[in-house]
Amino acid sequence: MAEACCGAEPAADGGAGVADDHGDGRLWQVRELQMAAVAAVALAAGWLLDRAGVAAPVVVGVELLAAVVGASTFVPGAVRGLRHGRVGVGTLMTIAAIGAVALGQVAEAALLGILFSIAEGLEHHAVTRTRRSLRALLGLVPATASVLRDGRELQVPPDDLVVGDTMVLRPGERAATDGAVRAGRTSLDLSAITGESVPVEAGPGDTVHAGAINGGGAIELRVTAPASDSSLARIVHIVEEARERRGAGQRLADRIARPLVPSILVLAVLVAGLGGLLGDPLLWLERALVVLVAASPCALAISVPLSVVAAIGASSRHGALVKGGAALEELGRVRVVAVDKTGTLTRNTPRVVDVVGLAAVGRDEVLAAAASLEARSEHPLAGAVLSAAEDGNVTYRAAREVTAVPGHGLHGVVDGAAVRLGRPGWVDAGPLADDVERLQGDGATVVLLERAGALLGAIAVRDELRPEAAEAVTRLGDLGIEVAMLTGDNRRTAEALAARAGIGTVHAELLPEDKAALLARIARGRRIAMVGDGVNDAPALATADVGIAMGAMGTDVAIETADVALMGQDLRHLPQLLAHARRSRAIMLQNIGLSLVIIGVLIPLAALGVLGLATVVVVHELAEVLVIGNAVRAARTRALPGLGTGSGDQPVGSSVVGGRPVGSR
């Protein structure tokens, strides 16, 4: 139960909620359920002895044994809570059980203990199961790793690997920690982490994450992180931390449950005191005990936390890190999604598709001058320009005094001359205006090159649309979610790509701060999520109601700063995540509503004597079981056609290896 509700001390109670978390988690091993079973057998034995005409003291003794065994699961925790000044549902149940025994209703007290123990045991089992499914990710790390040391190949535990070691990964083996390919080529499957379905090729320089399965030839990796700090370990750590963060719904349940417990005690005292003045004091004392049980808010207190734990665990198994209940709830309320273009809607593999020079300037001269500047740049377009120069055997030297102007381009000094490379408008297109318009109409990003104040030429770079982008946008539309594209690219290029993706709202030629300022206007009072790379789009990710980092596997900044991190590169995970969050939020609200209705109905019926203790106990604990069962539904994700998903505790999917998420210049 929630600590505020029941006043339990998990670290010390020795209950299943702790012990079972380290075992195999089978239902019959849960301590509360074991005690409930023993108490139920004792209660049944007492009933049979009574039917057989055995002396009343013997029957009462057996029923009292059942009551003691059943109450052993919550009375010690309630007493410890009282010593620390905490009054919870366990306290209410303890008072009710003792009072029932004092009034001679021993069988009812035993029934209360049995059903309350069953409800607690089921809750502990449900929480343990979702935690175990998350920790199963760590089970993807092999028990040993092959490492080359002093010219010999050794088998060592993953914890013994150090940064710089050379790790050998044979076909079919899993990587024990993160590394970079030093020698060999292969195909890799990271389905356990990112939830995608297509293996990817990896060669020298590419990143391999912990848990990756080698599907091709043997490769050698240079270890880049100890096993304790691998991408896989970070995922588990972050999601376990996220479970502790409380969402608005959880805070609502807490706000109701905390004052409700002492209020129930006051109500019970009033029922006993005022009723005793009007009638039989023992009768009204019995009704007061029934009110204690009827009004216990245990189902309310566990309704949201259990749903959050289940939903976050399910998301993590499909490649989405959700940073706690608040982020999960906000995801469930999202009605608008703003998507960055470069690296999110596109493949993140830009390439040069055309080079245009003025009459007296050759293609190689334009490429050489551009490559000189881009050699000092971190921007994704730099890689495309440098690759084109190398493929064309173009000779260049790195520029000096290179400075990036965010949202515009670069300037520096090449062979003593000032050179500028950037977007049209920052560099005047002049006689190349028609060429620029033509290339932009074909969906290419165009940069212009200027040397010593004179235009040299233009370079067209195109990053192709992801093949699943249009399908993802359609699925978002099916959820009733509006999609808008934000980009720093020119309008013609942006609109051409948006049309192919099925996006009708396009905002182009934006600086990073422009994207953040634009979100409120796009949202128009609705909840909005921003999907970007977690680095270049940081202002917009921070401004949106929910910031979602795309392709964040192994990117510390994205994982740490975003509300949600999609570990893979398949855009179809976005509608899947939003649908899952919406369903999980509905489950939370259902549980809160059901809990409040049960309490509201049972209290007057109990106070008026319409329902006795046994009936109220059964109804109350049945409601708690229903809430637990409904919360566990949040652990299930619905598979989308064509997307690698799994069931149970086994994570599935695939990953992107190497590269990094990017944003538009």
Amino acid at 438: R
Closest CA to 34 of 103, 127, 117, 158: 117
Residue 96, amino acid: A
Q: Which long-range contacts (CB under 8 A, 24 or more apart) does 9-18 make?
A: 9/77, 9/80, 9/81, 9/84, 12/80, 13/76, 13/77, 13/80, 15/73, 15/77, 15/120, 15/124, 16/121, 16/124, 16/125, 16/128, 17/123, 17/124, 17/127, 17/128
Strand order in the sheet with 166-169: 152-156, 145-149, 166-169, 219-223, 179-183, 207-208
Look at residues 128, 131, 123 and name the one whose alpha carbon lies nearest to residue 298: 123
DSSP code for 640: P
Q: How many helices (H) and strands (E) does the chain have?
A: 23, 22
CA dist 502 and 507 (Å) reads: 14
* C-alpha–C-alpha distance, residues 372 and 449, integer Å: 11
What is the widest separation between alpha-carbon atoms in the chain?
116
The yes-or-no answer on residue 340 being catalytic is yes
Going 356 to 358 to 359 to 363, the CA torsion angle's sign is negative
| DSSP-assigned beta bridge partners for residue 461 | 352, 445
Question: How far apart are the C-alpha atoms of 318 and 577, rounded to whole Å?
Answer: 9
Q: Quick one: tokens of 480? A: 């009733």
3-state SS, residue 168:
strand
Catalytic member of 189, 340, 463, 545: 340
Residue 491: CB partners within 8 Å, gap ≥ 6?
A: 506, 508, 509
CA Rg value for the chain: 32
Collect all residues with Cβ–Cβ distance below 8 Å to 266 and sequence separation of at least 6. Answer: none
Find the angle CA(554)-CA(640)-CA(550) to the nearest 5 degrees.
25
Edge to edge, the sheet with strand 200-202 lists: 200-202, 186-189, 213-214
Task: Collect all residues with Cβ–Cβ distance below 8 Å to 6 and sequence separation of at least 6.
Answer: 74, 77, 78, 81, 88, 89, 90, 120, 298, 301
- Residues recognised as catalytic: 340
